[in-house]
Amino acid sequence: MIKDNQKLFNRFHILIDAIFIVIAFRLTYYVRFESFLIYKFDWLNPFGYQEPFGIFARFLIFIVPVYLILYYGCHVYDSKRSKSFRYEIWDLFKANVFGIFFFTFLLVMLKKKLIYMRMFLTMFFCLNLGLTYINKIILRRVLAFYRKKGFNQKHVLVVGYSRTAERYINRILLNPEWGYHIHGILDDSMKPGAHYRNIKVLSTTDKLESILSQNQLDEIAITLSISEYAKLEKIVALCEKSGVHTKFIPDYNNIIPTKPYIEDLNGLPVINIRNVPLSNWFNKVLKRTFDIVGSFLAILVFSIPMLVTAIIIKTTSKGPLIFKQTRIGLHNKEFKMYKFRSMEEQAPDKEKQAWTTMNDPRVTPIGKFIRKTSIDELPQLFNVLKGDMSLVGPRPERPFFVEKFKEEIPRYMVKHQVRPGMTGWAQVSGYRGDTSIIKRIEHDLYYIENWSLGFDMKIMFLTVFKGFVNKNAY
């Protein structure tokens, strides 16, 4: 089973990392003190400071074990079968940052002159991180290849058939590189022999103890339906008694977020139904600063395109240059959203209850172009500067549709806990214009619950390269 192989694999993993640390150290010494680059950095070493590698290598006695301990402490060796590679790289980066601090401290304690070692430390950090990064990529791909072939499998039993069980099984089957093999399902409501995607119902949950006693499983996935939670305590107790690793996948994940915020109320865990990072004052200030600086710079960059667009609109059709439309923003408050006018003037009562359709006769010739290229959205930079909107966030909707959707779509109103945006995760994921409103809300909620400044920058980057042209705009 996987338990027996995992210890051997972990030891091999640690050994490989130790070898790469030594290689990075030796390579850094060569580049810094022995290669032709030494002449390029003479200004950092005016007195020709250099120790023989045999003496210098004594640092490895301290560096190698400390780095391996840091890798362990930063979760580099945790199982990452189903986790994104970026988490592993982030853990590796943190460990190397702490490691270079330790190396610097070691040099200070041994009274080495840091002025001559700065380039060595910088090179060692980059080389060790780079080499280990390549090692992790190769290791991941090798493991993924063998897991797809049926090796290095983690054997799992699913307890409880529910919507969650189906979602769990679907994800496992769609990702064979994770290396999970599902033996079957235990459930009290389905007959033995029934199956979901060729995963059979083996028996009822009261057979769990006898199955666990055979000690052939690596993991139990508890996926009981919410109506069966009375059995949960007994099932967990049986799993812990056997010592098998147990996971609980709740059947209320449509209620709580992917990463719930849990408070410790004097020993009592309390799950917050909705965790909104932007409710934190520091995050609010950070995002608002980003919006102000970003919108101001964007206005300068797009000033000429906006001026040209304004001239064309005024000379080709009658009506105001800027179209002001009432939208619902932060905390359900109404505001006037600005756009370049792309349609003929119409009565407000007709406009506010209808979306634009394909070949809509109300759209002007220049309007078709600026809608397709999103140029009509540029005046919203002034909305951002005013504070009505953000550069990134859920797109705001008209009051009529807000009233309609909040009755039809669960959790729709959660999007109003943050400022609406000019662009958003839903838009760069392809849900713009005449697309699924449910999918849009799902993406908006994901953005709200997983906000970070880095996420905003990613969305801005995707908007620049694939978000301006809107094939669903009419």
- Percent over 70 (pLDDT), the chain: 85
Q: Which of 117, 132, 148 is the last residue of a domain?
A: 148
Residue 412 lies in a domain: yes
Mean pLDDT of 38-60: 62
pLDDT of residue 31 exceeding 60: yes
Residue 422 lies in a domain: yes
Residue 264 lies in a domain: no
> What is the model's pLDDT at position 345?
67
Q: Are residues 236 and 285 in the same domain?
A: no
Beta-carbon contacts of 22 under 8 Å, excluding residues fewer than 6 positions away, are 60, 64
Residue 133 lies in a domain: yes
Residue 377 lies in a domain: yes
Q: Are residues 364 and 455 in the same domain?
A: yes
- Residue 25 per-residue DSSP state: H
User: What are residue 154's DSSP bridge partners?
Assistant: 180
Residue 213 lies in a domain: yes
- Amino acid identity for residue 433 in this structure: G
Q: Average the pLDDT over each of 46-55, 288-297, 361-370 and give the range with the smallest value.
A: 46-55
Residue 302 lies in a domain: yes
Q: How many domains does the chain have?
A: 3
For residue 243, the domain's CATH number is 3.40.50.720
Q: Are residues 27 and 102 in the same domain?
A: yes
pLDDT digits (tens, 9 = 90+) for 401-425: 899 888 888 788 889 999 999 999 9
Q: Are residues 51 and 170 in the same domain?
A: no
The boundaries of the domain holding residue 37 are: 2-148
Q: Are residues 141 and 162 in the same domain?
A: no
Backbone angles phi, psi at 181, to 5 degrees: -120, 115
pLDDT digits (tens, 9 = 90+) for 151-195: 878 899 999 999 899 999 999 998 888 888 999 999 998 888 888
Q: Are residues 345 and 382 in the same domain?
A: yes
Mean pLDDT of 50-78: 84
What is d(CA 166, CA 188) in angstroms, rounded to the nearest whole number? 16
Phi-psi bin for 420: left (phi > 0), alpha (psi -120 to 50), beta?
beta
> What is the model's pLDDT at position 213?
85
Q: Which of 148, 163, 182 is the last residue of a domain?
A: 148
pLDDT band at 349 (very low <50, low <70, confident <90, very high): low
Q: Are residues 396 and 308 in the same domain?
A: yes
Mean pLDDT of 23-33: 87
pLDDT digits (tens, 9 = 90+) for 421-448: 999 999 888 887 667 788 888 899 889 9
Rounded to two decimals, what is the model's pTM?
0.59
Q: Are residues 301 and 319 in the same domain?
A: yes
Instruction: Please say whether the beta carbons of 192 and 202 come within 8 A.
Output: yes
Residue 275 lies in a domain: no
Q: Which of 235, 253, 271 is the last residue of a domain?
A: 253
pLDDT band at 355 (very low <50, low <70, confident <90, very high): low
Q: Are residues 115 and 179 in the same domain?
A: no
Q: Looking at mean pLDDT, say which of 2-11, 113-122, 246-255 comes out highest.
A: 246-255
Q: Are residues 348 and 412 in the same domain?
A: yes
Name the 3-class secondary structure at 433.
coil
Q: Are residues 123 and 161 in the same domain?
A: no
Q: Return the number of other C-beta atoms located less than 10 Å from residue 204's C-beta.
A: 14
pLDDT band at 46 (very low <50, low <70, confident <90, very high): very low
Mean pLDDT of 116-139: 87
pLDDT of residue 336 exceeding 90: yes
Q: How far is CA 175 from CA 172, 179, 182, in A?
A: 5, 8, 13
Q: Are residues 357 and 450 in the same domain?
A: yes
Residues in the chain: 474
